[in-house]
Structures are given as C-alpha cells and as structure tokens.
Amino acid sequence: MKTSPSMLPKPASFTATNLIFIGRSLRHSLRNVEALIMAIMLPILLMLLFTYVFGGAIDPTGDYVNYVVPGIILLCAGFGSSSTAVDVATDMTNGIIDRFRTMPIRSVSVVAGHVAASLARNLLATCIVIGVALLVGFRPSAGAWEWIAALGVIILFILTYTWLFAAIGLVTGSPSAASGYGFALLFLPYLSSAFVPTNTMPSWLQGFANHQPVTPVIETIRGLLAGTPIGDNGWWAISWCAAILLIALVWCAIAFRRKSGRR
Amino acid sequence: MSTLAIEVNGLRKRFGKQTVLDGINLAVAKGTIFALLGPNGAGKTTLIHILSTLTEPDSGHARIDGYDVVGDRKEVRNSISLTGQFAAVDEVLTGEENLKMMCRLSGLSVKESSARTAELLKSFDLAGAAGKRVKTYSGGMRRKLDLAVSLVVHRPVLFLDEPTTGLDTISRRALWDIILRLKQQGMTIFLTTQYLEEADQLADTIAVINRGRVVASGTADELKARVSGEVIELRNGNDELLRTVPTSGGIEDVRHKLNEIAHSFASDTRISIRKPSMDDVFLALTAKETEAALV
C-alpha cells in the first residue's frame, strides 16, 4: 500500500499558519493569569505613581500628567513585550519546535504568533494608560488624525521592541536567561525625555539621552497628543524603529534557522 | 517501486570534534517496525533528527519513501511524523486544543479538525481529559497525546524517539499496543530505545548502535543467535537465581555440567535452560566495541 503525499490534505497556507499560531499565543496570554494581571496593573500603578508621588516635585503646577503619558506608554510597552523573550525561549527549549519544524509549514510563524499576541497585550495596556491618564487629569489636544498617527507610532514601537525581545528569546539558551538579558532594553526609557526634559540632566548624559531611539519616539507621541513641537523627531522616530525592526527581523530569521537545527 | 521506507547510506555527522555518526547504513522495509537500540550518547537522536530533516548530515545519504532528506525536504516532511524524546505538546493548551491545532496546521478544515480530534481522543482513551490542560496530565497521558498528535493526518513513516522512557509498566504496555496497531494499519515505524525488551517485543528488525556505528543488525532471534550457546539457570524454592552456567545446549553437555555441580546444591533446586536474552546480546556487542576502542 503506497500512500503518496498527494493524497494528504494540503498543509495550512502561510496566512492560515500565522493565524493558527496567533490564536495559540493569544490563548497562552489569556491563561497566564499572573502576567495578564501584571500587564493591567502595571500601567495603572505607574500612572498613579508618576502623577501623584513624583509629579508634584517634578512640576509643581500639576501639569506633569500631560508631560508623562507618552513615557508611561513606552515603559509599559517595554515591560509588556519583554515576556515575548520568555515565550519564545520556552518554545525553543521544548520539543514542540521540532514537531513544527518537521511539518510542511513555515515554522518560524510560531514566533510571529508570539509577536502578535504581545502587540495585542500591549495595546490593551496602552488603552489602560490613556484611560487612567484621562481620569487623573490628562487633557490631550490631539484631533482624530493626531490620535491615529500617535497610535501608529506606538504600534511601530511595540513591534520593534517585541521583535527584539523575540530575537533575544531565540539566541538565549533558556527562558530564565531570556528574561535576564532584556534588562538593558527596559532601562532605555528612563534615560530619555520620557519623565524629565533631557536638558535637566548632566551634560554627559544629555548626549546619550538626546541621541538614543526612545527620545524621538517620546517627543513624537507627546507632540501628537499634547501639541508640543515635534520638529524632525518624527522622522528620527520612524527611522530608528524601522532600522531596529529590520535588524531584529533578520536576526530572528538567522537565529531561528541556526537554533532549531542545533538541538 | 522500492519496498524500502527508509534507506541510509554512509551517513556521517560531527558536532565540533566529536563524531556522533560514523558511517551509518540502514534499510527499513515498508510496513515494518524498526528499532534502533543503543546506550545514551550512541547517536540515536542525531540519526532521528537527520532522518526527520531537523539536522543536515555532513556526508552520506538518507531517503524516506524515495525522497532525499536534504534535497527533497518538503516531500519528506509530507511523508513523516516525529514524536521526539520530550513530549512535544503544548502544556498551556488542553489535549483537545493541541489536537485541533495540529489538525488545522496539517490543512484540515475546522469541521474536519473537530471530527478527527474527537476520533483520536476516543481511540487513545483520552476523551475524559480532553478539556484539561496538558500541564495536569500524567507522563503516560502526555505520551499518548503526543502520539495522537503525530497521527492527525496519515503520514506513512512515523519516528518515535524513546517513546516509553520514563513511563510505568502499564503505560508502556498501552503504548506498545498502540504502536503494534499502527503497524497493522500499514505504517512504517522507526523507534529508538534503550530497552532491550521493547525492541524484542515490537521490532521486526533491530540495529544495535554504539559510538555512532551500527555494531549489529537483524531480527531479535538472529541477534540472540550471535551469542553462541544457551544458559542453564539454577533457582531455589523461592525462585531466586543461584547460578547460571553456560552450555552448548546438547544433552551430553547439559548432563556433564549438571553432574559437575549437582552435589553443591540442595535437592529441591530447580533448573531451566534458556536462550540468551537481548541483554546478553547487547552487553556482548557493546562490550566488544568498548574493548576495541580501548586497545
């Protein structure tokens, strides 16, 4: 009895494969209750902390909330996307990746699934930040187009961070190592104009703060939402994100091929 | 048309300085169970990884159903199903969700996936745990689900890397029954194992691998015949083994051996004559190899 491959159902298409893996990762997100609570609580706590605890000291006029919202969005996006490194590393150390790779499908889609789920989680966190901000006095000047543009920049930033974390998850050997290596990325928003204007920092730090990727992203979002001047920050933000995103994607593709063949 | 499901010629693989496979030749006929038997580190998993397209060999060739594992990777992936050494199931999902996901990835429609999932849950006796997360499954249940996932669509060649390692006796026997049933359905099964009994019970042909080389191959009986002669066992009333004595098995030799030793055992000592077990064969074969390597 010969069962030729042509008698089998055609394997899932590229689109279908991606959708199936996105569904899988979303289920994972919903079932990881601790992480989900963290993703919801963190934006609320940070928003309240920066407005009521630090805000008065930084800006006694009480207007600090209008300054800090973009920073908190990015800080939460960093935390939210860092779990992608752990999710990806877990898959790569589990036998399930071998199963996917021996099927006639594009198995790298398993990573894309985690990225899509991270985007969904982070957009939820972003909505919570904005919602809480509005409750505690955030008064954005943005019209509909500015909101859409700001959302576009936020999505681009989340995708960039998430693919970077996915690459970290692919190259580190274990889930716990993966969660450790992302630390530097989580620290970047603090060394930017997210929480205080960079001209209040010592001059040696200003050099870094003004020229690192997070600052133009923050300034662009702030400009769109609160009406501060954007200048050339918009182009810098998009260029930085696009370049890092491209590097992260290539890094992921190479790491995936190398890693999964080596086990 | 070739009657071979798997053909391996001169396969070599090194990782750094370590030679893991050192010129492997194998042939597995369609519709049979083949067992690759060897100690830890013998190269069993590497060979399965090469045959299932996960790793490329340094030299040599391997064909699955006539397709080359390097050149015709896509066709090979359409012909095989791999159940790796570690249960390759998603622990966060339920058993049912795991099966449905694999059905969908294999190209079944939503409706077909539900039907096939229900069918597999039933035939693997997992229907009761279908809605529970795999995290809560026992080792045996996990292994069964793992195997069920490999069978969502019919692929002619099934690779099982140490399918019963770590399972209790009951789960092991249940899995053996399933594997034999799959053979009856016409599948070719390539399994690796450290357990001689498993190879003996399941396999039509066995290859013993040690240090990246096939040191012997054949049916279980052929391999046992390679350890010449038979063994006399002496046991006391409590069935405890007192002594084993090698013999040619001929009546003259057995009488002679018994006369020599009879006086030193109690009169109720029972004797039996048996063929050498797979353990005897395995130890003899791998010991020879190790000795040769030391010289």
State residue A235's pLDDT score. Answer: 92
Tell me if A102 and B80 make a contact (CB, 8 A cut-off). yes
- Identify all chain A residues contacting B104, using CB atoms and an 8 Å cutoff: 12, 16, 20
Q: Residue A255 pLDDT more than 80?
A: yes
B205: three-class secondary structure by DSSP: strand
User: By the CB < 8 Å criterion, does B72 face chain A?
Assistant: no
How far is it, in rounded angstroms, from Cα B248 to Cα B235? 20
Confidence of residue A120 (pLDDT cuts 50, 70, 90): very high
User: How much is the mean pLDDT over chain A?
Assistant: 87
For B66-98, the pLDDT digits (tens) are 999 999 988 899 899 988 777 789 999 999 999
- Nearest CB among B49, B82, B93 relative to A99 is that of B82
Domain boundaries, chain B: 4-95+133-224, 228-275
For A128-178, the pLDDT digits (tens) are 989 998 998 888 888 899 999 999 999 999 999 999 999 999 998 788 888
Max mean pLDDT range (A92-96, A241-245, B77-81): A241-245
Higher pLDDT, A36 or B282: A36
Assembly ipTM: 0.83
Chain B interface disruption, residue of A22, A99, A114, A260, most B CBs within 10 A:
A99
Q: Residue B115 pLDDT more than 90?
A: yes
State the Cα angle at B269 between B280 and B221, rounded to 5°: 25
Confidence of residue B290 (pLDDT cuts 50, 70, 90): low
B107 phi, psi to nearest 5 deg: 100, 5
Instruction: Please give the residue of chain B at the shortest CA–CA distance from A94.
Output: B88
| B 250-269 → A contacts, CB under 8 A | none
Higher pLDDT, A77 or B229: A77
What is the mean predicted confidence (pLDDT) over B133-152? 89
Tell me if A102 and B53 make a contact (CB, 8 A cut-off). yes
State residue B291's pLDDT score. Answer: 57
Instruction: Please give the residue of chain B at the shortest CA–CA distance from A17.
Output: B105
Virtual torsion, Cα B274, B276, B277, B280, nearest 10 deg:
150
How far is it, in rounded angstroms, from Cα B60 to Cα B232? 45
B20 phi, psi to nearest 5 deg: -95, -40
Virtual torsion, Cα A105, A109, A111, A112, nearest 10 deg:
-170
Higher pLDDT, A231 or A2: A231
Pairing assessment for the beta strands B213-218 and B205-210 based on DSSP bridges: antiparallel
How far is it, in rounded angstroms, from Cα B241 to Cα B157? 42
B154 phi, psi to nearest 5 deg: -75, 115
Under CATH, to which class is B4-95+133-224 assigned? alpha beta
What is the mean predicted confidence (pLDDT) over A12-32? 92
Q: Residue B189 pLDDT more than 80?
A: yes
Q: Residue B132 pLDDT more than 80?
A: yes
State residue A261's pLDDT score. Answer: 55
User: By the CB < 8 Å criterion, does B156 face chain A?
Assistant: yes
Residue A209: CB partners within 8 Å, gap ≥ 6? A191, A192, A193, A198, A201, A215
For B255-269, the pLDDT digits (tens) are 888 888 888 888 888
Instruction: Please give the residue of chain A at the shortest CA–CA distance from B66.
Output: A4
Per-residue burial over A228-256, b = 16 or more CB atoms within 10 Å of its CB, e = otherwise = bebeebbebbbebbeebbeebbebbeebb
What is the number of other CB atoms lying within 10 angstroms of the CB of residue B139? Answer: 14
What is the number of other CB atoms lying within 10 angstroms of the CB of residue A190? Answer: 13
Residue A178: CB partners within 8 Å, gap ≥ 6? A85, A86, A88, A89, A168, A169, A172
What is the mean predicted confidence (pLDDT) over A85-101? 87
For A13-22, the pLDDT digits (tens) are 889 999 999 9
Chain B interface disruption, residue of A14, A102, A107, most B CBs within 10 A:
A102
- Identify all chain B residues contacting A98, using CB atoms and an 8 Å cutoff: 49, 52, 54, 82, 84, 88
**For the range B175-183, what are the long-range contacts, defined as Cβ-Cβ under 8 Å and sequence gap of 24 or more?**
B175/B140, B175/B143, B175/B144, B175/B147, B176/B201, B176/B202, B178/B124, B178/B144, B178/B147, B179/B33, B180/B33, B182/B151, B182/B158, B183/B31, B183/B32, B183/B33
Structure tokens at B242: 């007192």
pTM: 0.80
Residue A150's identity, in one-letter code, is A
Structure tokens at B176: 């053996």
If we measure between CA atoms, which residue out of B110, B170, B175 comes closest to residue B146?
Answer: B175
Structure tokens at A20: 């199936």
User: By the CB < 8 Å criterion, does B69 face chain A?
Assistant: no
* Alpha carbon of residue B135 to chain centroid: 26
State residue A240's pLDDT score. Answer: 93
For B192-243, the pLDDT digits (tens) are 988 888 888 899 999 988 888 898 888 888 887 776 678 788 888 888 888 8
Confidence of residue A263 (pLDDT cuts 50, 70, 90): very low
- Identify all chain B residues contacting A10, using CB atoms and an 8 Å cutoff: 107
State residue B295's pLDDT score. Answer: 47
Tell me if A8 and B154 make a contact (CB, 8 A cut-off). yes
